[in-house]
Structure formats: C-alpha cells, structure tokens
Structure 1
C-alpha cells in the first residue's frame, strides 16, 4: 500500500481494490482437492482464458486450458506486444478479475502480464494448462460431452472459447518495400529497436498506430508521421468521460449522439477538428483512447495525414494525401514522406472459431449474432467469451468475463436455466428489432450499459434463474442455488419428470 499521506488517491484506489478482492474473489481450491463440478475445456491462455478458468475452479468446476503457443505466450496478445505498450483506458475499467491489484491508473505490458501470471498461479492453473496444443476441432460423443481434437484429451461438459480478437500479425506486402533503405517492422516488434533522432513513418491509423507513436515518443524519435486511410474517433484518457460514453443503453447512434460528438470536437479536438470523423458517428466503432496524440500533433512531434499508400521508394513512402470527406482511393495530392523507419501498424489477423461444429454458423445466427453475443443457439454449453465482439465502448476485459463464465456455470449446474435453441434465437431476433435503426448490425457494436441490460434480461426472463442472480453478477451465493436445485429435482422426480442429462440441451422455456 502507498503512504496515505503522500499519495492519498493511489492509497484509496489500492484500498478499494483490496476490498473488492476480499468481497468478490472466489477462494482458490486447496492443493490436491478434487473438483466435483462439470469439467470445462478452455481454449486459449490469454487474459480471458486465465480469468475464466480462475472463476471456474474457484467455484468448484474442473478445467483444462488448451493453448496453441508455448509457455512464453501465457497472457495472449499482452505477451507479444512492445514493452512500451500499456492500457489506454484507466485500469479501473480493466479489472479482468476481482483479485487484480493495479499499482496505478495506466499499467504497462509487464504489469499486465504479471497480474495474469499471478492469477494463473494463485488458482492452481499451472497443472491444468496444456501448451503447444492447437485446437483443430471440437465434437460431441453420444452423451453430448465435448471432445477436444481427439478422445486422448478427455471429455468435457462445457467449453469456453477464449481465443480473443488478435491472432497472427497482419503484415501486408506493398510495392517497393524491398527498395526501402530504412528499416521496416510490424508495430508489435519494436522492443529493442533504436529510433532516437530518426524519422518514423507509421502506416495505419488504429490502436496499433497509437502504440507505435508512444514508442516513438519514448525513444525520442525526431519526427513521426502517421499515415491513415480513414478518420477514426479518438476520446480522452479520462475514466469519467469514458464511463459516461459507455452509458448509452441503446448501444448505437441515437438522435442525441450529436451531443457527445459535438462536445468532443469542441473541447477535445479543438483546433484539430479536421481529424474528427464526419462520415460515421461515435457509436459505430471502437474509438481510440488517448490524450497524448493531440499534444504530439500540436507540438509538431507528430503529423497525422489522411490518404492512401502508393508504395515505397528508397527514401520513404509515396503517399496520396486526401482532403476531408474524399473516399479511400479518391483524388488527392501526391507526396513523398521521407523516413528512416517504417512501422506497419496493420494490426493482427482475427483468430478463427471454425473449430466449433458447423451448426454454430448457420445464417442468420452466426457470430456475432448469437445469444448474448457469446452462446451459439445450437450449443448452450459453449461460451465464446470476449472473442465474438466487433466494436464496443465500455470496460474492456472487465466484470463481464466473470459474468459470462458464471452464466455458463449456471447453465451447466441447473437444467431448468438452460435456454432452448428456439428461445435463444428469439432473443437474437428481439435485439435486432430493438436496434433496427442502428447504423451497424445489431451485434456489430454495443456499449457496456447495453451489455448490462442483456445480462439483466437473461436473468429476469426466467424465474428459475432468479436464485442465481447474486452468483451470476457478483460470484456470491452458489451454495443456496445448489440446495434449491436439489429440492427442484426431488419434486420433479416425484412428479415423474426427468431432467435432461445432456449438458448441451436446453430445457427452459
């Protein structure tokens, strides 16, 4: 703990985290204790996979984590980015598990990986993780139990797919790259590179470009150019503003969306309003969260240019500078951007979910158009946690990892809470109707308040789920629902009714 007199705000933040840990963290299982709940296969040992696994074992469910990479890739994408990378949002919005203890507002990559590793060890997941094992397919045996690749890996009652949204690096080939006399790197491979006094050209205008800009500033590059194909919303690194923007319950553009957009232009962009998008609203795609970008542009350290890459020369990049509103590939001014280092801020390939059964992808109910965006309508025992979303505004890697995981645990524990495929599809249809005026698809963009509404509706619509409410939302009170389930089963047996033994088959109305 920090000294409460010298650092009162940090001390208060650490005190709040300590309280949340004591109140909401499930107890780790004792070494050697056999977990009796249904067994769950978790695909991916990144932040989401480790967090979901800790919730499972903390509530008595055994797990096996399958990670395609080696031990060094524990932590997922955070194990593979630059040392200068860190949180763009405040860490209070990145509490991926109640036991996480941040030392400050914007921790760096090393702190994040350290917290993931500590969580992995705390809940005894070292002996429950299989590295260097890529999941090629999952299928069911005649009793509905899941098999990962082949029967030698065991059988499971449930699956949590936690493959994330960032896989292999995306490194496009451009004309003339072989002629460039400078250095060319992907934005995730900058650690250890020297940029002091050099001119850096960043190709791309998304989150990867912002991280590359932070690297350039840290290494004291003389000048940085950011070459972006289109405008993208940037919002300040302010937790109050970020939370307020996530409180749009409709999860899309509304007749009032012009208000936050106007305020951002006037008070955040100010003299740089030319960089603010005009062809798309704030609530249509994930914004970048950074306040330093504007300062670096104003100071002359960086220059943000809109246009198209024509190719490389020996000295730099041929660029077509477009005016505001001119579409990609449209007319503009040709220019040569000279530089010493070219950084491809082109992001990552999205990991595939095609290891799931084919019936998980039948139109019009294919990802992200699933129940709660996460459960395939044909398989209630499969939870694709944090890997189906497209765009959003809200807490990232936050409480919803635990909530989604505990919804799956509820489904596996209580047959009367499992939704039938028919009703899962009707929820998807209902959400499409509610968001029919949204400029994006119903599930292509959401806000955190909309996510809370999804969770609330999920529990409220089925009386058999009410007893699970505190458990689902806070991880509290699992013992009481189990006693109630035993009573319900006794009554059902007395009436000659049987619960479906298949964990993947829904029973509720």
Structure 2
C-alpha cells in the first residue's frame, strides 16, 4: 500500500512540476551511468596512492573519483572538520545560495540537487554526502596544514617530511581552491566610522533592519551582501564599486551558450552577446554596464534580481572611489562611465549606518609545491591544461590556478583532470614529457595571442573540452583510455593492455 501511495504522489508531482521531475530524473540517470561505485568497507584500494590537499568541494570530488576507480587516497585539510570539510561553503553565510543553475554545479556524478539554486546548507550537505558515501571519512586528516611536498629517492611524494605517519604517495592533487580567509582591505580613516563593519562572509545574525547599509566592492560578494540586506529590510542600500563587471542573467540556457565560445576569449563577434545583454538585460540600467571591457575578459556575475532591486529603489549601484570614511558614512568620488579608477569625478558623502566589506577572500598559496614548478614563463596558471606543471605531471592543481572564466563547476572537468592524473601514473606511455608540455603551452599562447588577457588568465568551458580532446588525440597511447578519461568507463580494458605492455618491456629488458 505504501508503494502505491508513493507512486501516486510521484505521479502527482510529475504532473504538477514536469520540469522539476525531468531534472530529478536526469540526475538519477547521470548518477546511475557515470558515478563510480563506492569501494566496499573491506575493499582493498591499491596504488597509485594520491595525496589530496584540501577538503573542499574539489578535493572531496577528486578523492571520490580516485577511490571509485579503486585507487587509494588521503585528504589533508588545514582546518578542523566544521570549517574545512566543504571548503568555502563551510565558511559563508547560511543565506548564501548558488548563483548559477545547479545543473552547471554538479561537482560529482552522484550529486542530486532538489532545486535549481540550492542554499549553502544544501550544497554543504551534498559535499558531506559524497565524502561519506565514498568512505572518505576514514581517509581524511583534519587540522593538518601541508607545508611541503617533496620526492624521496624512489620518486614517491612525502607530505610534511613525515613518512612514518602518512606514508608515501604517487601523485598529488592540489585542491586548495581560490578562496581562503576573508580579505579585509584598509579604508582611509576607517576608525572614524561610528557604526559596525562586517565582512560579507560573516553576516549571519547581524541586524541591519531599518539601517542604511554601505556595501564595499563590486563582485559576487557584493551582490550577495545586497540580497542579504534586502531580505533583512534595510532602509537604504548603496553598493560602492571601484570597477565595472559584467552581469549575466540567472538563466541556464544563456549561461551555457555564453560558455560555448571555443576560442576562450574576446573575438570579433563578442560585441553580439554584449549588445544583446545591454539591450535586453540591462535595458534602462545600461549606465552600470562595463565600458571598454569585453565580456570574455573577466568572470561575470550571475544574477537576475539585482536590477529589479535597483529599479524598485531598494538599492543603488555607485561607481567611483572611496576618498575617506566619515562618522556617518563615506566620502565618495563618483565617476562617470568609462572613467578609470582614480580618475576625475564629483565628491559627495554617502550616508550609512553599517559597512559590509564585500572584498572577497585571500587566495590560498601553492607554495607547498616544489620550487621547480614555479619556473618563469611556466608558472601557474601557465601550466599544461592549466593544472599540470610541465616539470612534473604527477601533480594536478584542479581549480587552484583558476583566475577567470565563463563555465561551470561540473563533475566533468574535475573528473577528467583526476582521471588524466591516474592515467599518467598508471600508464607510462601516456605521460607527457616536459618539452612537449611546454610546447603545448606555447601553442596555446600563440592561438590566443590576440586575446586581451593572458592565454590562461581566462577560458570558457568549451575551450576546456577542446583542450581535453586535443591532448587525447595527439598521443596514440592515450586512445585506449578515452572512454575512461571522458566518462570514467571501461578502466579495466586499458589497464589490462598496460599490464601486457609492462610484461613485454620486462621480457625485452631480460632478453637484452
């Protein structure tokens, strides 16, 4: 009877919410087809053994891919479990939510979202779910900052010079991300301000109802702070931004189309999406759209409600520079569109009772890696596929060298990078040599020589797929791995071929 009732309720849900039902069904199919099976509790995981540095979304996903394919891992997280597991999603406001559609934020095939724009709590819950499902709770060391990784005489990696406690590793996944501790910039004469100052990541429990709120910054954190102030019924909200950033709609189809620019930068046709955004999205608010700054030069903000708040008179978006902080607000130099930072404008005091510093986060350091991987001209982000230092392809810095992009945080690229690393470690014939890795970097620089940013400073998701296809095709020994690289399937077949190749090499060596 219970089964019949459940089927009936599911049918009613499908009829009333057809799109939501199809999305849930799609996730179930993707999870069934592409999720690697978790290892059994008593299952033996073998080498290569991977050290994953960072317990955030990327680290957990990468480690889950490793153990799902039968390889051993150990996650090292600098913070305690409460603040470390989940990375930045464990350290932001409970009111934070995903700005892009959740179908573009499937960081692992087994993730199943219940809504299009999940909250911080839902995102953290999914990260923890993957962590537990793949038995990573037994393979995570918290409160352990990694200060050094170096190789021993056998070519194995040692973490913090401590083989007695951690053993050795065959590969390193640096998954420290791009957001560390909150960044608080220094404002001139800030001590004069009578009211409180908060960072945008620490707003839970802060009362701003009926107050005049000043948001310092013009990025995604500023929009999040603005939304928080609106929900808390602030009397006035002013966002003080030094620079202009593109804002694109919260629309999965628009975002996906924009990420399909395979050139990974500005082209002679980039004016078309920019004109369309100004005409149909900015409309009467074209004045706050960027001037002289291409859409494919910086990570855009994704939000559809911001303009509604401005049009409704609930918020203002002011362009200019902070001159000084006063007792009851900020002396602000308003700049016209197109005038650069620090340029001429007109000064006036913007009244405020509360200052919210939407100034982002400090970037975590990769300095624990060997000095050799920071070679001039070939330092991050100028690495092979942006994540493999040409000096050593047993290191993979997924989502840790990223600067700007239009794309997603999908399981697709996290999984591909992880499986590429596993392939390099398992199959010697697939490993890229340093000269060829540097040649690929130079080739990419040549292809993107007219881009307004550096070759690896900005990319699109379509460009990533091109990179993966290109490097898979150029080496015939990688062809047998293609289903595994792109979909995580049929690992057994190429692994068997590699074993035969190893036997042939051994027998030829003995014959000689």
Compute the TM-score of the two structures, normalised by the length of structure 2.
0.96
Match of 1:21 in 2: 31
Residue 274 of structure 2 aligns with which residue? 261
The equivalent of 1:507 in structure 2 is: none
Report the Cα distance in structure 2 between the residues aligned to 1:109 and 1:340, rounded to whole angstroms: 27
Equivalent residues in 2 for 1:148-163 (5 A)? 148-150=159-161, 151-152=163-164, 153-163=166-176
Shift in Å at residue 497 of structure 1? 8.6
Aligned mate of 2:391, from 374, 378, 392? 378
Q: What does residue 306 of structure 2 align with?
A: 293
In the superposition, relative to structure 1, how do residues 95 and 160 fare at CA in structure 2: closer, same or farther (>3 Å)?
Answer: same
Give the aligned partner of residue 504 of structure 1: none
**Residue 291 (structure 1) shift:** 0.7
Name the SS for the 1:496 alignment partner.
Answer: helix
Q: How does 1:10-409 map to 2 (within 5 A)?
A: 10-73=20-83, 74-150=85-161, 151-152=163-164, 153-409=166-422
Q: Does 1:6 align with 2:19?
A: no
Contact 1:200 1:225 (C-alpha < 8 Å) held by counterparts: yes
Deviation of 1:331 after TM superposition, in Å, equals: 1.2
**Residue aligned with 1:431, SS:** helix
CA–CA distance in structure 2, aligned partners of residues 451 and 218 of structure 1: 38
Is contact 2:147-2:368 (8 Å) kept? yes
Q: Secondary structure at the match of 1:343?
A: strand
Change (3 A) 1:497 1:220: farther
CA offset at residue 207 of structure 1? 0.7
Alignment correspondent of 1:501: none
- Listed one character per residue, the Cα deviations across residues 22-69 of structure 1 (whole Å, up to 9, x for unaligned) are 000000001122201311000000000000000000001100000000
Deviation of 1:387 after TM superposition, in Å, equals: 0.7
Displacement of 1:452 after TM fit?
0.2
Partner of 2:462: 449
- 1:223: Cα distance to partner? 1.5
| Counterpart secondary structure, 1:5 | helix
- The CA deviation at 1:397 is 4.3
Deviations 1:230-265 (A, max 9, x none): 111000000000000001000000000000000000
2:278 is paired with a residue of what secondary structure?
helix
Structure 1 runs not aligned, ≥5 long: 499-509
- In the TM superposition, what whole-angstrom CA distance separates every residue of 1:288-309 from its partner, at most 9, and x where no partner exists? 0001111111111010000001
The alpha-carbon deviation at position 182 of structure 1 amounts to: 1.2
Alpha-carbon separation, structure 2, partners of 1:262 and 1:115:
38
Tell me: CA distance 1:324–1:217, structure 2 relative to 1, closer, same or farther (3 Å).
same
Would the aligned equivalents of 2:381 and 2:402 in 1 still touch at CA under 8 Å?
yes
Q: Which whole-Å CA distance do the structure 2 matches of 1:195 and 1:202 have between them?
A: 12
Q: Secondary structure at the match of 1:156?
A: coil
Contact 2:47–2:170 at 8 Å: present in 1 too? no
1:177-198 per-residue CA deviation (whole Å, 9 max, x = no partner) reads: 2221111000000011112221
The answer to whether the 8 A contact 1:48-1:397 is kept is: no
Distance 1:317 1:449 in 2: 43
- 1:206 and 1:158 mapped to 2: Cα distance? 35
Structure 1 length-normalised TM:
0.96
Aligned-partner SS, 1:22: helix
> Which protein has the bigger helix share?
2
Structure 2 SS opposite 1:3: helix
Structure 1 residue ranges, 4+ long, deviating more than 6 angstroms after superposition:
none
Secondary structure in 1 aligned to 2:158?
A: strand
Deviation at 1:8, TM superposition (A): 1.3
Deviation at 1:493, TM superposition (A): 3.0
d(CA) in 2 for partners of 1:62, 1:81: 31
